[in-house]
Structure 1
């Protein structure tokens, strides 16, 4: 059975067909695998995209949800603990965050956690302390209605030693988080965590469905001193089987609105091929555009890619009166339809 997943795939797969060939063999499959009127993925906004405004006092954490909705038309947010570092146990503050998000119809998706210690620390006491430091963010995530916290898998030692240490810390933290219905997600965030094979191996060692990954399209620098990088497409493909969130990293765009470092069509096809249809979080880190313009450019790109990869319902151009999900643009290109 042939599965049509994108307009580009359709064009490739139909290159051997003639204009009069019936489409019934693959149309049934497309109907079976494509949800009617459902977007291939949703878009959220990572708070780090506005880190300069937040750090500069131009934006308050409590107003992040409102700005996300009113400025960008995005209805889901990913918080960063750095911007309300001392509020994890402040029930009144967290309630206010919930109130303001609800007032504008914004969903709290997850909290990204930094600065709470290395979950793979070789020192057993320090590793335990790091695990315990994350506990308050698990409960904060529960209060905010998030599905996950994002953590780091930092460690020291050999390839195998770091895997074992990180797996130990993650497993213990995940077992705690499970009590609250919260997932623990690891982002590729430098060092060995930016090695897709290494992090996928850690996930296999933890072996808990509540412990997953948050693949970031741009965080594949293995060594900041040498600039050595892991292949980002290979890395995302290795991490997607465990993904419960995705970070769409952007820096700069060309005149056509495409990200200059990442082929978003190729990358999002990898994401979709893994069966992922959840939130894709914009994380703009560029400097040529200001933060607001960069976020808007990132959203525009994701919408363009989503539209391009979405099969559309059209009539069979040959003979049948049934409707099929056919990548319409490919048919226009082949001259089967006219605009």
Structure 2
């Protein structure tokens, strides 16, 4: 009985020793101190996926910058995706589009956005119809390339020159005999037609604050909200396209954002200069629970070879 009693006293300490020994061995195998083994690894915060627009390398110069080269640069620098500017495409043939899709895939990159141009601020129904048809054609292009979203514009009256003053105040009077309310109705009706095709294709139409009518954020939301029930309706918020103080306006649009285009202006802007506080912008996006892509539009005069890299470094710091 005595020996059994002693054995029962030793059993717990033996079990404790075995437990400690096994934990220590596991910790040594993992290359960490034994006392650190039981601790759970801290969860890292979400990092927004970062894309680069092909526009960042072109800026509408006479000679188009090849999209293939942008994809290669993006992969080398460590971007997550490439936004394709429709006007920068070499052509619209299936072999060309398949080549871009395959090149992105081989380089581990997504193609999150196709940026197109159109205007629904046109008094003639036949002119609006042409841009509806253009948009539907671009939905088919996006589908072919596996691109899930298209950047959409409202359009503008084009009654004033696009100079430095315009980019400061965004003021643009309607054509004689018409009002901004007419243009808002045209945009809603035309976007509605495009959404029918977009829903079938599974492509999001992300309307942007892209000057013209959309310089007025109230107008932009007046167009967006009646269409928001469509699963294909989205919003692309551009950090550089606000008139006046950008942050309160950005805060209003952030809850609706499907994707964000973020501008930088290294070397001075081609059209205008802005000093944007991206830490503040990142805070607004987190508060709005934004989870999508942030796509760089480097719009400065500095060589993209250096300016795009600088922009990516900045975005990694603030959007991580």
Please tell me the TM-score bracket, short chain as reference.
0.7 to 0.9
1:39 to 27, 33, 46: 46
Larger proportion of helix: 2
Larger proportion of strand: 1
Matched, 1:206 2:234: no
| Deviation, structure 1 residue 54 | 7.5
| Deviation, structure 1 residue 39 | 2.4
Q: Number of paired residues?
A: 254
CA–CA separation in structure 2 for the residues paired with 1:302 and 1:190:
24
Paired position in structure 2 for 1:195: 216
Paired position in structure 2 for 1:218: 240
Is this contact kept in 2: 1:69–1:104, CA < 8 A? yes
CA–CA separation in structure 1 for the residues paired with 2:290 and 2:217:
17
Q: 1:209 to 1:270 in 2, by over 3 A?
A: farther
Three-state SS of the structure 2 residue aligned to 1:107 is: coil
Which one has a bigger Cα radius of gyration? Answer: 2
CA–CA separation in structure 1 for the residues paired with 2:297 and 2:113:
14
* 1:165-191 Cα deviation digits (max 9, x unpaired): 111111111111111000101111112
Q: What runs of 5+ residues in structure 2 fail to find an aligned partner?
A: 1-41, 158-177
Matched, 1:111 2:111: no
Is this contact kept in 1: 2:199–2:231, CA < 8 A? no
Paired position in structure 2 for 1:67: 73
Is this contact kept in 1: 2:81–2:112, CA < 8 A? yes
Matched, 1:268 2:290: no
Three-state SS of the structure 2 residue aligned to 1:108 is: coil
Runs of 4+ in 1 over 4 A off after TM superposition: 52-55
Is this contact kept in 1: 2:240–2:274, CA < 8 A? no
| Deviation, structure 1 residue 85 | 6.0
* 1:251-289 Cα deviation digits (max 9, x unpaired): 1389xxxx96111111121122111111101111112x3
RMSD: 2.3
- What is the TM-score when the length of structure 2 is the normalising length? 0.73
1:84 to 84, 89, 114: 89
Three-state SS of the structure 2 residue aligned to 1:149 is: strand
* 1:47-89 Cα deviation digits (max 9, x unpaired): 11011597545x422332122111x2112010001111641xx
Is this contact kept in 1: 2:120–2:183, CA < 8 A? no
Taking the TM superposition and a 5 Å limit, the aligned residue runs for 1:1-339 are: 36-37=43-44, 39-52=46-59, 55-56=62-63, 59-70=65-76, 72-84=77-89, 86-87=91-92, 90-114=93-117, 117-156=118-157, 157-207=178-228, 208-220=230-242, 229-252=243-266, 261-287=275-301, 289-307=302-320
Three-state SS of the structure 2 residue aligned to 1:62 is: helix
CA–CA separation in structure 2 for the residues paired with 1:51 and 1:248:
16
Is this contact kept in 1: 2:239–2:246, CA < 8 A? yes
- What is the TM-score when the length of structure 1 is the normalising length? 0.69
